[in-house]
Structure 1
Amino acid sequence: MTVVTWPDEVDDILGGDLTCALAYLTPAGGTVVSAVAPIGLRDRAKGTVGFTTSLGFGRKLERIKRDPRVALAYHARKHGLGDLGNQRYVLVQGTATFEVSPDSAMLEEIGERVVPFMGPPRRGRFWDSWLSAYYRDRILVTVAVHRIVVWPDLDTEGVPEVFGEPLPVGAVSSQQPPAQGAAPRVDVPKAAANAERLAHCLLGFAQADGFPAIVPVRPTGSGPEGLHLDIPAGAPAGGRRAGLLSHDYRPKLIGLESRQHTGWLESAGTTGTYAPHTSSGFAAPANKTVLLLANGFLARRGLKRAKQEGLLEALR
């Protein structure tokens, strides 16, 4: 595959955003969208970008291993390190690989890269012991870039520029509705309230070439049929499985909230109705000490579960 490179104004975003959205595919042809920490990971010479995740999110890693096509949306400059005047929306599509048991040198590099974004780590006898699982739990995911789509503004209302493989052409066929039906299965008013309240709302779906795409959307209300969305960049017309992420975050990720859904999208192009089928999420406190205590606990529980369920061997 030809190495895909990108200009300085895009590299500033890839190297500076505090968080970005990840989309990966489900076995049923749907898409899950979640927030991840890219910590400036990218290599223009090799044509790769990256992000970190945790063994505690084993299903995400299993699905990426099954189908490595992913997308990353760099959709906000807030609290990052780059130029705040650079308001481009950057969508990266590529294939992902990861090392289940990274060596100490890689973990050390990840630790150094985190500092400019999230500050120095807490040290001392207690914190070194409590957070050992958290740092050992880090997984580095590297994405070989196939395509970068760059809109001139974060609202994706302009004409995008494409680096790498051209965008797929032609209409995308609608998918078959789920066997249990396409209607909402979770609380629609609650999902709509979260989508309207949180600063960022993003929609993920599969393109004609099989790669997931992520675009920002604007909630415009709801009804028994689902959430009503404006989709500035557009989505394939018809019905399909799709993922929805609503989230917000504070400086250094000390205080963040994320709400995720999988469900069914009926799209007319730049408008659509989203029927949520599943719901998950979390809110992290805006207190670093409490956050680190929680991170240590969740990492220990995640590692224990991964060993009990044989996740490490399965991923290897």
Structure 2
Amino acid sequence: MAVTWPDEVDDVLGGDLTCAAAYVTPAGGAVVSAVSPIGLRDRAAGTVGFTTSLGFGRKLERMKREPKVALAYHAREHGIGSRENSRFVLVQGTAAFDPTPDQEALDRLGAQATPYLGAPRRGVFWDRWLRAYYADRVVVTVTVDRIVVWPDLDAAGTPEILGAAAPSVEPATQQPPAKGTGPRVDVARTAAQATKLPHRLLGYRQADGYPAVVPVQVTGSSADGVRLTVPAGLPQGGRRAGLLAHEYRSQLIGLESRQNTGWLEVSGTEAVYAPHTASGFKAPPNKTILLLGNGFLARRGLAKARKSGLVEALR
């Protein structure tokens, strides 16, 4: 039977402007990125969704190979739901997507996005410039297997579980990477970038194979890695994990995102995160510049996806 949810959770799923999506890597780690859910959900069918781009083909390839994903709804600002709703909602489920949606599906997506992102720019120039941007859109639909609801955005206390029961055992400590567990990118820079952004989330693989995402706080850095405070109940010991720090403004006009993959060592509610890779971007708070950039990146990403055979591979 489909997993359903109460009104107070639906307010979060339908209201948040962004959420954090996590997928599992072949090595058993997790990658976490900020995505736009634009209210995509169907309580009767037990599904939620988000949009992404063919230009992020690696994400789609990983989800096709291992469709267990998680969405963490963790922020209320600039959305259309209740600001007083302080729940941290983690949705875990199975992802599916159509890499080549038809025009009717794209039109429906545009109408769905308007309350969150504003009306699209129209005109001879913008219609041509943004054609690739809209054609590049992919909707990922997640069939919900479990929803974990904490009463507060810091994910403290005992959560409510809807759907499948949570794993009864912790995931085993993972084998260290062949190249070692120590930092491979600048720790101080990683900590500084994460500290200045308001939202920081950590993703890892649970014992049942689903990724989990929780909020964390940065408390400092050392030669070993970024110092974190994590919610109680995180699996102890060492494992691969992903770190996301981000912020965004109204209608996503102005945003910054910083992503890392690396090695996590947890002891109680304290942890050390050794970053192994780093990526990110920053978009200016100017809609015209943002749309010009989106159009350029979409054209490049769509051309690359077609040339590389990604679209056919995803089918």
TM range (shorter): over 0.9
Name the residue aligned to 2:256. 257
The one-letter amino acid paired with 2:185 is V
Moved more, 277-286 or 163-172: 163-172
How far 1:233 sits from its partner (Å)? Answer: 4.4
Tell me how far 1:195 sits from its aligned partner: 1.0
Q: Which residue of 2 aligns with 1:38?
A: 37
Task: Show the counterpart of 2:292.
Answer: 293
Residue matched to 1:207: 206
What is the letter of the counterpart of residue 94 of structure 1? G
Partner of 2:180: 181
Measured on the aligned residues, the alpha-carbon RMSD in Å equals 0.7
Pairing 1:112-131 to 2, within 5 Å after superposition: 112-131=111-130
Consecutive unaligned residues of structure 2, counting only runs of 5 or more, are: none
Where does residue 106 of structure 1 map in the other structure?
105
1:1-40 alignment to 2 at 5 Å? 2-40=1-39
CA apart distance, 1:170 = 1.7
Match of 2:67 in 1: 68
State the alpha-carbon separation in 2 of the partners of residues 178 and 159 from structure 1.
33
Larger displacement relative to structure 2 (86-95 or 267-276)? 267-276
**What residue number does 1:88 align with?**
87
Cα drift, residue 105 of structure 1? 1.4
Q: Which residue of 2 aligns with 1:51?
A: 50
Deviation of the 1:147 alpha carbon: 0.2
Between 1:98-107 and 1:56-65, the stretch displaced more is 98-107
Instruction: Map residues 217-232 of structure 1 onto 2, 5 A cutoff.
Output: 217-232=216-231
5+ residue gaps, structure 1, are: none
Give the Cα separation in 2 of the matches to 1:132 and 1:307. 15
- Give the fraction of aligned pairs with identical amino acids, expressed as a percent: 67
- CA displacement, residues 223-277 of structure 1 (integer Å, 9 cap, x when unaligned): 0000011012432111100000000001110000000000000011422100000
- Once the two structures are TM-superposed, the CA of residue 197 in structure 1 deviates from its matched residue by 0.4
Asked if 1 retains the 8 angstrom alpha-carbon contact of 2:200 and 2:217, the reply is yes
Query: 1:86 & 1:261 partners in 2: Cα distance?
Result: 29
Corresponding residue SS for 1:196? helix
Q: What's the TM-score, normalizing by structure 1?
A: 0.99
Alignment: residue pair count? 315
Q: How do 1:133-212 and structure 2 match up within 5 A?
A: 133-212=132-211
The one-letter code of the counterpart of 1:238 is: G
Q: Which amino acid aligns with 2:100?
A: S
Q: TM-score, normalised by structure 2?
A: 0.99
What letter is aligned with 2:239? R
**Residue identity in the other structure for 1:28:** A
Q: Which runs of 4+ in 1 moved over 4 A?
A: none
Contact kept in structure 1, 2:171 and 2:205, CA below 8 Å? no
